[in-house]
Copies of this chain bind each other. A is one copy, B any other.
Amino acid sequence: MTGPLSSGKLLLPKGFSFSSLAAGLKASGRSDLALAEAGSGSTAAAVFTSNRVVAAPVEVGRGSLAETRGRMRAVIVNSGNANCATGSAGLRSCNEVCRAVGRLLRVSPDEVFPSSTGIIGAPLPVGKILSKLPALIATRAASGQALSEFAQAIMTTDTRPKLASRSFRVGEREVIVSGVAKGSGMIHPQLATMLVYVFTDIEAAPAELGRLLRGTCDQTFNCISIDGDTSTNDTVLLLASGKSGVRFHGSVVREKFSVALLEVCQSLAEQIVSDGEGAQHVIRLIVDQAKNRAEGLRVAKAVAHSLLVKTAWAGADPNWGRILAAIGACGVRLDPGKVDICIGDQLVCRYGVASPFDEKKAHHHLTQPYCEIGVRLRRGHSSLAFLTTDLTAEYIHINADYST
């Protein structure tokens, strides 16, 4: 299935080079090791998983960002192994990789940001990675092709790479924001990681990047769910080379950059959901008139995570009773007698009871690749959009038909 938003043309921000290759971590033999190098003076900010169980690279990356106060020169990512639940040996392996990359690139090991995605609980094959690093670094290139191959190398069970670019002009100068992401595939059934890297050539202080990235994530990656399972490795990194010559300063540039970043992240979030395991439909849930954002999010997640609602969507069944029941059980002290539910542009439940509607039309709407469900709570003025998928037998097959 295809998502509603295309990723657009891939643009190369100034001040970056990329490379990737197969180090033998994926049984398929596909590329599984990727490098991004950023010029001197590059700044960074990151957002990590909220899971209490975190992988070694998340611990190391978080520590390095604190140590360097947001100065980063490289990103090294492997797929095929999550380096999670691997204890102190996993931390040692991760640090060893960062040290080797730093030595080869002549930067501090703290300026190398590590990521891993793949099987939880298996030791990182650090020897395979170390032996391929010289070749990886020798082949780096400042090209859109190399960035596109970077996006391929970080995939696990994704059926396609996820990329998005935006640009804007400030006088004669152009600022580029390009993001790549992986996530929401799980054909090998221990992979559950969303990794996002956004590269830009704007010049900005790490604290500025951090504030902006957190706000953007709340509106994009924190508003999606395939199956409600939170990975141990989730990472979103924003890396700014400053090589556009444009400083993140003044309301016009700030506004333009914020919009470009939001659009890139929104596009990547939608690409992740539309590539969800076994998904037939992307569902855009609009929760309207909640008391506040937290309440709206709670209602959205209750609907998005209800197995009965997700299976009804898989059958294109306009079964609003299941949606109402999921809302009623979500822990918000709402009055069910004030709840409206829409499927597409039809009101199907009004003030908590059935509203006459055209069932064929509602069914037809739910057969589309992109569907809208609206919920009105009549409790306040907060409104949000949340993206999720249906739950199909294919999801079960992908995640169950595997035996150690």
Contacts and interface: CB of A to CB of B under 8 A. Distances in A.
A400 B311 contact: yes
B189 A85 contact: no
A26 interface: no
A53 B85 contact: no
A249 B320 CA distance: 48
Nearest to A89: B353
Interface string A312-353: 101111111110111111001111110000000000010111
Interface in A230-284: 230-232
Contacts of A390: 400
A94 interface: no
A328 B402 contact: no
Between A54, A319, A333, A399, the greatest number of chain B beta carbons within 10 A of the residue's beta carbon is seen for A399
Q: Is the interface of A mostly helix, strand, loop or mixed?
A: loop
A18 B145 CA distance: 76
Interface residues of A, number: 72
Contacts of A82: 321
B403 A392 contact: no
Interface stretch (A148-156, A160-168, A301-309): A301-309
A352 B317 contact: no
A66 interface: no
A1 interface: no
A53 B229 contact: no
B311 A86 contact: no
B52 A85 contact: no
A126 interface: no
Contacts of A189: 308, 311-312, 315, 317, 319, 322
A76 interface: no
Contact of A52 (B305, B311, B334, B349): B334
A85 B319 CA distance: 12
Given A320-B121, A326-B229, A353-B87, A392 B400 contact: yes
A362 B229 CA distance: 23
B400 A315 contact: yes
A77 B51 CA distance: 45
Contacts of A306: 228-229
A92 interface: no
Interface string A348-385: 01011110000100110000000000000000000000
A120 interface: yes
B53 A327 contact: yes
Question: Which 5 A-B residue pairs are closest in the complex by CB-CB distance?
Answer: A120-B321, A53-B328, A311-B399, A315-B400, A230-B329
11 contacts: A52-B327, A85-B321, A86-B354, A87-B353, A189-B312, A229-B325, A229-B326, A315-B402, A363-B403, A392-B400, A396-B396
Given A87-B353, A227-B307, A395-B396, 17 more contacts: A51-B329, A52-B328, A85-B353, A87-B337, A121-B320, A121-B324, A227-B308, A231-B325, A312-B400, A312-B402, A314-B396, A317-B400, A359-B404, A391-B396, A392-B400, A393-B393, A393-B397
